[in-house]
Structure 1
Amino acid sequence: MTPASHAPAASPFRWQALLGALAALALGFVATPARAGEEIRVQKAVSTVSSRYGQSWQDVSITLLVKNLAYHKEVSVSMKQPDGTWADLAASYVGPAGSGLSGHEIWKVTRMYASWGVDPQPSRDLEFVAKYTVAGQTYWDTNDFNHHRVGRGDGPYQPYNPVLVAASFWRDNGDLDVSIDVKNLAYAKNVTVVYSTDGWATAHEAPAAYVSGYTSGYAYISSPNVQGVERWQAHIPALPGNVVLFAVRYEVGGQTFWDNNFGVDHQHTRP
């Protein structure tokens, strides 16, 4: 799903551009800022804190959707540090988005903050903005100047996407389980995995069920979490074929949202 773009009127644009420039100076940005539309968007951030054998660590991942304006570009996340300063965390290129989002790319930032080592990096709550510099211009996603904020143990945060696949894995008997994160937009909802084992010559559906809490590695995450994200899980029975293509349909409040992996469908190959 692509977040909607709202084009401002000519007069408010000048005020928003000025606010963007002031915000950039406050954060220490040196490139000329531009108002972000669909140039860069935070798709998902996940922060978990794990503990084992007396040690603890924080795993952070932030997925970004970036409009491919030129080959040479710099994509990063500007993260507020525990001492109040800001640091740019470089993102890595993942791949192109699908046909539904032609001209866009997926980038990702991952970090682990450990409680051990020569230079300890204790866990921290996250406050960040996304930054994209290309052709002498800088675009950023500041969450309407409020910054993106995720507690250290919150789990998933989805500022614009109502539904995103979290993981999928094969069981020993050949069944496939799909874990899904949805924003809790209303109590009554339906979450369904639509899948195919023959390249969409035929399609099948598997209903997902709500999960009240779950583990991620050695971390526990409540559902819904403080970000209003619920975990749902679907079970696909063993079927012929080695490749399963699937997408997720989320029906809530008279609306239907899809996660089709940015237009290329989710794919899981049998091990």
Structure 2
Amino acid sequence: MSFPIDPGAYQVLDNPLGRDTSWSAATCEPPVRWREHWHEHDRLLTLSQHDEHAAIYLDEDVNRNGTRWLLGYVSDIWRYSKATYGGTFGPDARLYSIHHGHRYSGGHPGYHTDASHDHRNVSDCGPGPWTERHDGAFDLPSHEIAHVVESVNNGVQGSPAFGIWGDSKWAEFFQYDLYVALDLPRHARRLRADFTKGSDDFPRPGTHWFRDWFHPLWTDGGHAKVMVSFFRLLAQHFPTEGGTRYRGQLNWGEYVHFTSGAAGADLRPLARRAFGWPDEWAAQFEQARADFPLIDY
């Protein structure tokens, strides 16, 4: 199957403004010290490196040896995200990447729309180590940045599809595409093998999200372009509060309708093979076509 893609799907952001009116991103320096005050986090962070796209913060327990590569990596992720996924990710041009040593398993994102992380787009990860020898040093930040991309793209806060794909399924698409785009072939092959083997119990037991849904979308949908279009269609058509925050979540019929619009093809056959297609979803799909008639394919 081959999907026609809008050649205008990409939008490069090259003139972001600073968050505060007293400074611009070109002149403001990120703080040298930053005290965490969210969830169970209370570490005093130290600015390690920064450029116009990213700022790297380490807590006192991180072994600094072998961490200099992080800035180039995170900066490349965020530059690619801004250039690819369209719209604005907020007035601060940087992604703030936090790295912990020997604490806080896993990670979480923060968004510029929330005061909880001082109105910064954040990837907060632990426990390390943070050298290039460790695959997790690549995967944890890219996973959390995937959540930033899905939750504040195109100037609208929220992820209407989160209830459909959960914590990690969209992130798998984002990470695989990212590693291909950044010319990290070993990591792209590693993730493709892991994700292809992986299965989930939602929406039904034995579902292969990457193998049967996201990888076909990536292959036939112009790599990231299909999801660029998906997020743009959400921002244009899905209900919001004041145009800045999504109201509600997609149901399965709406999700397949919006994704079909992004792909330029009716994806019900692909969805049926990947997830099944119960009568409830079929009814939701027809209602979605009536509710969002401007989404065409």
TM-score, normalised via structure 2 length: 0.26
State the structure with bigger RCO (CA 8 A, min sep 6), 1 or 2: 1
